[in-house]
A and B are shown apart, each in its own frame.
Chain A
């Protein structure tokens, strides 16, 4: 999957990219497949096993695609968080 980025700078990770788009397509699909798949698998129906396995694969790839980006966003944002929190408290206390 060379077309999926795994290395992100902080600035690049802040942008909404194709990795986000693929994730928000895979994510509901995974929910849908796992919900129906588990129900049918509990009734020993072969369709249930197939759907559950496909749902699991969707979940795996979703994480593989989005996790590097989430890590980059998180590490960058944590550096600024204290400053933002101070701003938030100041606005609560009506100091600005």
Chain B
């Protein structure tokens, strides 16, 4: 079966800056792929290549088997505008109509606005919408043409919790009906909630491309917090130690069970033991900068 998005060996520079360095990525029909990476990692550049706004310096980009620079290839593509960029003097339904009429069989405007809870705002000028409402409209615009694939660049940035959950539902519904989604996010939480597959990009390269579970399992750092008058940083298995206020210590380890056994067995006096897994942000930091949590600290500990 033809891949929906196929990027092979793509390199893209902006002057001196290497935005994408020999990137390959294939997204099949019905996949929901989350792309993660810090600012400037190359995510937006990659999306702009897939949406035909730019062309690669070398390598090829295919969208549904065609060249995305050819408008005909984009008939089945949905994208979001940046929410700050909606034409301020047009009304909500006018913006939707305008975008809809680029497609051969768009969703009826009323239906789409209903779906995104924007029906009551249909006659408002977009300049008067709140940030969250603009964000919802932006995502709605990506779906108006009944696309087979949507590119969502930071779809819920700046939304409150309920607004985010509502958008996630809309994205899940679209995916459940067979749609293909390629989304970028700063929020691991968002990628964890939506994506089945995770691609981590940094410095223009694909660092990781795997299922969500595999990516999360890969980073099995535990954070152990404990109070003790003794310095526990030297215990076996402690990758890195930090001191907090008073005698509170934070220990990072790959195996918290072994560390706790070690701590108890050593007979050292301690109190207030807490253990938790690394947060998603910490896992992400570990992926993007290997050794940020564990490896680098081994050097310090030595």
Query: A and B, one complex?
Result: no
